[in-house]
Amino acid sequence: QKEVEQNSGPLSVPEGAIASLNCTYSDRVSQSFFWYRQYSGKSPELIMSIYSNGDKEDGRFTAQLNKASQYVSLLIRDSQPSDSATYLCAVSVIGGTSYGKLTFGQGTILTVHP
Amino acid sequence: ETGVTQTPRHLVMGMTNKKSLKCEQHLGHNAMYWYKQSAKKPLELMFVYNFKEQTENNSVPSRFSPECPNSSHLFLHLHTLQPEDSALYLCASSLPRRGGNTGELFFGEGSRLTVL
């Protein structure tokens, strides 16, 4: 069983639409949740982090966390072609030697077409 | 200068060669990491260093040997690799937060390794 699971896509949405990316995780003690964006040929960059249940908004991005259901999602409003990338969900456990010990999903490829 | 710099960006080596990957961070972070990214597979954590001390070795084969001389530099020494080791090797750094964990990693551009 995969520890962090994402729909690999590709997910294709028209420009201006809402893109919805989902992620589920298996370890109930997970405490920190992250979304990274990776453009083709580039390294991942952090776009959102969320630690508490509920929604967290940052510009056009909204992260949603539901620990009871063990899922985290990312909504991208008013999608732009420049949002086309692979989105990586990452999960970690707080404490001890768990510095940066992220478990990544396989990524969802998003394509925003004009 | 960029935050996390990796060299070389591309490396081709034979199975009997010995080479090293270098990573340098200019962010004042205390933790550094090596991740492996292979096609169609999730990013895999290889090693973690906190304040120059190795705190994680994720069952990595001994043909990969990390070295962290200080909090700003990290190396990955490679020897007798296999073709299946061909991948993108990503270095990252972070500043630990209270509670002992941060997932807010800053990645370098990666070193693309091809083993013939």
DSSP A21-66: EEEEE--TT--EEEEEEE-TTS--EEEEEE-SSEEEEETTEEEEEE
Residues of chain A contacting B, Cβ within 8 Å: 4, 31-34, 42-46, 49, 88, 90-107
Residues in chain B, pLDDT under 70: 1-2, 96-103
Q: Report the pLDDT value the prediction gives residue A22, as an integer from 0 to 100.
A: 96
Closest B-chain CA to A6: B42
A98 pLDDT exceeds 60? no
CA distance A67 to A42: 31
Cβ pair B65, B85 in contact under 8 A: no
List the single residue in B31, B43, B94 with the smallest CB-CB distance to A104. Answer: B43
Q: Report the pLDDT value the prediction gives residue B52, as an integer from 0 to 100.
A: 78
Q: Report the pLDDT value the prediction gives residue A27, as an integer from 0 to 100.
A: 82
Q: How far is CA B3 from the centre of its chain?
A: 15
Q: Coil, strand, or helix at residue A83?
A: helix
List the single residue in B48, B108, B110 with the smallest CB-CB distance to A101. Answer: B48
Mean pLDDT of chain A: 90
Q: Give percent of chain A with pLDDT exceeding 90.
A: 75
Are A42 and B33 a contacting pair at CB < 8 A? Answer: no
Are A97 and B43 a contacting pair at CB < 8 A? Answer: no
pLDDT band at A93 (very low <50, low <70, confident <90, very high): confident
List the single residue in A95, A100, A106 with the smallest CB-CB distance to B94. Answer: A100
Cβ pair A93, A101 in contact under 8 A: yes
The reply to whether B70 touches chain A by the CB within 8 Å rule is no
Question: Closest approach of chain A CAs to the CA of B111, in angstroms?
Answer: 10
Angle at A101 between CA A97 and CA A103, to 5 degrees: 145
Q: Report the pLDDT value the prediction gives residue A1, as an integer from 0 to 100.
A: 55
Q: Quick one: tokens of B24?
A: 């340098």
Q: Report the pLDDT value the prediction gives residue B95, as an integer from 0 to 100.
A: 80
CA distance B10 to B24: 16
**pLDDT tens digits for A28-67?**
777 889 999 999 989 999 999 998 999 999 999 999 999 9
Chain A interface, best mutation among B4, B102, B112, by max A CB count within 10 A: B102
Q: Report the pLDDT value the prediction gives residue B50, as an integer from 0 to 100.
A: 82
